[in-house]
């Protein structure tokens, strides 16, 4: 599935990861967009939760992918699928502000074309997948 997705000119694949060490959070997203250089976004922050960091990494990936005009499918590969589910959780939770920001990005993406698509793939770190 990955090889097929990478060969599509309208599919962007974003892998995300985040960690916290000594109260310093690092979020990383790598975005592959056909015919463009691989983009890597790294952010550091202090005194945030792991959920906030993971959501921010996902947000950066969606932002990178959805900003390209010919992209109609975004695949987010994450080791925190439970965090990605919070994006679509309408109940009140501490990370709701991040979820709303992501939903605003997705709203713009889907308003470009109602056939646009986003998928979330879970890939735990322990699998050592080279794209993650």
Cα-to-chain-centroid distance, residue 2: 16
Number of domains in the chain: 1
pTM comes to: 0.85
Q: Evaluate whether residue 118 is within a structural domain.
A: yes
Q: Evaluate whether residue 50 is within a structural domain.
A: yes
Q: How far apart, in Å, are the Cα atoms of 66 and each of 49, 115, 122?
A: 26, 14, 20
- How many other C-beta atoms are found inside a 10 Å radius of the C-beta of residue 94? 10
Q: Evaluate whether residue 109 is within a structural domain.
A: yes
Q: Evaluate whether residue 131 is within a structural domain.
A: no
CATH number of the domain that residue 102 is part of: 3.30.420.10
Q: Evaluate whether residue 15 is within a structural domain.
A: yes
128 CB-side CA count, 13 A: 0
Please enumerate in sequence order all residues whose Cβ is within 8 A of that of 20, keeping only pairs 6 or more positions apart, or say none: 26, 48, 50, 53
Q: Would you write out the chain's pLDDT as a tens digit for each of its 132 residues? A: 556 666 688 999 998 988 899 989 999 999 988 888 888 889 999 988 888 999 999 999 999 999 998 999 999 999 888 889 889 888 877 888 888 999 999 999 999 999 999 999 988 766 665 554
What pLDDT does residue 127 have?
A: 65
Boundaries of domain holding 88: 2-124
Q: Evaluate whether residue 130 is within a structural domain.
A: no
């Amino acid at each position: 599935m990955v090889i097929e997705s990478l060969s599509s000119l309208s599919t962007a694949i974003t892998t995300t990861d985040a960690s916290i060490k000594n109260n310093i959070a690092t979020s990383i997203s790598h975005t592959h967009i056909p015919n463009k250089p691989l983009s890597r976004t790294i952010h550091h922050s202090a005194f945030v939760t792991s959920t906030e960091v993971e959501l921010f990494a996902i947000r950066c990936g969606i932002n990178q992918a959805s900003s390209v005009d010919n992209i109609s499918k975004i695949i987010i590969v994450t080791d925190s699928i439970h965090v990605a589910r919070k994006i679509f959780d309408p109940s009140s939770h501490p990370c709701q502000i991040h979820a709303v920001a992501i939903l605003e990005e997705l709203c713009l993406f889907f308003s470009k074309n109602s056939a646009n698509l986003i998928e979330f793939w879970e890939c735990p770190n322990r699998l050592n997948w080279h794209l993650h």
